[in-house]
A = this chain, B = another copy of it.
Amino acid sequence: MANKTKKMRFLGSADVVLPEGFQAAGVAAGIKGNGKLDMALLTSDRPASVAAVFTTNQVKAASVRLDMERLKGRIARAVVVNSGNANACNGPAGMRDAKAMTRRTAALLGVPEGTVFVCSTGTIGRPLPMKCIEAGIDALVPKRSPQGGLDVSAAILTTDTRPKRWTVPLRIGRHSVRMTGFCKGAGMIEPNMATMLAFLVTDASVGAPDLQRLLRAAVEESFNRITIDGDRSTNDTVLFFANGASGAPVFRPGRPGWKAFEAAVYETTRELALAIVRDGEGATRFATIRVRGARSNREADVAARSVANSFLVKTAWAGPNPNWGRVMDALGYSAARVVENKVSIRFDDCLAVTHGRSGPASQEDLCAVVAQTEFTVSIDLHIGKGTAFIHTCNCTEEYVRINR
């Protein structure tokens, strides 16, 4: 899929510099057992405003429950992360271990424990290997540097095949501001917080309530608009730190710089979300499902997700086979109102379905669209004004091999 993947703005290895006042490090602590980086630390040299969005799953990892509590303090100094173990479904021991991670990190950094956040990702239901983790924290703290972003993006991965990062430089008046994000995804990815971790850092100065509102809105248009397999994880977390180290005046809605900052956040979350779908477990194709003409935006969303989550649709596209019949089927069993003989479906510019039946496009043309690494399926229900979109990927045998 690499050929059509948009070039990331933060892919070079030499110029990976975090926003002002942030440092980072990654180490191989032995959790994954394959020698790869599996712990990361991201710190701010001054108190940062913090915003966060968490999984809606009722079964939540200890780290998620702890971070939800800490978010109330509105101030962050660091986040410590491990991959290879989700620390979910570990009972009271899970919370004890999550707290121990933040306590040790806080002590070594000399910051209040309540300003240290923690994230875990990996297998559910195994105790955290605390010996490895404690040694990992001890190694992370002195290793931090402004160039540590690359290691963070690698250390948080699980079945991902490549790191995901994005940065947007902003010029606001005479101030340079930087917006940078990292994330991991790959599997157990579903809307309403995909299975993922994402970390956003900026040296802009933003109040925590404004940051929280902006993050929630941006997540709604990015991480909540992707699906890989329809499984929502126990650990999904997006953390956003704004430390003000750029020296730029506080950004507030309606004030100078806000629009540009807002756009940078939307761009960063959107590009990271798309990078997750493009790197879906076993995926070789990226598809955008657009629905319009639904009775409401909510029904458009329901219809789009029904198509995007149908394994029969996703396996057909592995063919590559457009199989618009399966798209019609998935629309029909969605909770959205669908009138069969009003539906039209385009694969890119090819009209596959009109009035609910085969349209003018030839099977060859439709196959050619679906054979691309990226394409768009545009559905018009022709019964209202509701619109929605969602990004998904195909499903290959490799998805099963990875997860069996």
A interface with B by C-beta (< 8 Å): 56-60, 86, 88-91, 93-94, 123-126, 187-188, 190, 192, 229-234, 310-312, 315-316, 318-319, 321, 324-326, 328-333, 337-341, 353, 355-358, 395-397, 399-401, 403-404
Contact = CB atoms under 8 A, between A and B. Distances in A.
Nearest to A396: B400
Contact of A325 (B89, B192, B316): B89
B400 A90 contact: no
Contacts of A331: 58-59
Contacts of A321: 404
A355 B232 CA distance: 21
Nearest to A65: B340
Given A341-B91, A353-B89, A395-B400, A232 B333 contact: yes
A123 B328 CA distance: 12
A360 to B, nearest CB: 14
Contacts of A339: 58
A329 B397 contact: no
A404 B396 contact: yes
Determine which residue in A59, A233, A399 has the highest number of CB atoms from chain B within 10 A of its CB, and name it: A59
A326 B229 CA distance: 13
12 contacts: A59-B333, A59-B340, A60-B332, A88-B328, A89-B340, A89-B356, A123-B325, A126-B358, A230-B310, A232-B329, A318-B404, A395-B400
Contact of A188 (B329, B396, B403, B404): B329
